[in-house]
Amino acid sequence: MFNNWLRNNKVAAWILTVIRIYVGYEWLTAGWGKLSSGGFDAGGFIQGAIANSTGNHPAVQGWWAAFLEHAALPGIKFFNVLVPLGETLVGLGLILGTFTTFAALMAIVMNTAFLFSGTVSTNAQMLILEVFILVAAANAGRIGLDRWVMPYVRSLLHKKNNKPTTFTKPHTKVNTKATV
């Protein structure tokens, strides 16, 4: 019942728009701050998360620390670009209501990564709001550019999927007589 209301109700669409813009603003300002500073480096954050994976009460799980140590830290240049760019694009997508469901999904991925790394801050709150946006699906972007973008994308995909393949022969007769 609640899910149906969240996905179809006009009042829910307006509430989701407010939530979407708030969450998008938080992502956009975080990403833009990193992009405009010119020197974002996630290395210290990752090393801190790895350090927090030991001791009596580790804040970071060992499997996540292993991922950070063996994948993220060696690929730090990639993550130094990916994190601020991802935050900025997610923020823009949510504020404008463009590819809203995908933007919310990527926000959930980033918030989860930050939570796994031991940073609570506003990540848990943002994660809950992003889940509402994701569950609401198209209704979350109804009051936004998705209203026009998604039907256009669907029409492009529909045209692509309805093209005949080069292997079909449109005027070939099929033998319907049964052979014994």
- On whether the CB atoms of residues 111 and 127 are closer than 8 A, the answer is yes
pLDDT tens digit string along 160-180?
777 665 555 555 555 666 665
φ, ψ dihedrals at 147, nearest 5°: -55, -35
pLDDT tens digit string along 93-149?
999 999 999 999 999 999 999 999 999 899 999 999 999 999 998 889 999 999 999
- Distance from C-alpha of 31 to C-alpha of 24, rounded to nearest angstrom: 10
Banded pLDDT at 156 (limits 50, 70, 90)? confident
More confident residue, 32 or 169: 32
Query: Within 10 A of 49 (CB to CB), how many other CB atoms are there?
Result: 25
- Distance from C-alpha of 69 to C-alpha of 47, rounded to nearest angstrom: 8
For position 63, what pLDDT does the model report? 96
pLDDT at 21 over 90: yes
Banded pLDDT at 38 (limits 50, 70, 90)? confident
Rounded to an integer, the average pLDDT of 64-79 is 96
The proportion of the chain whose per-residue pLDDT surpasses 70, expressed as a percent, equals 90
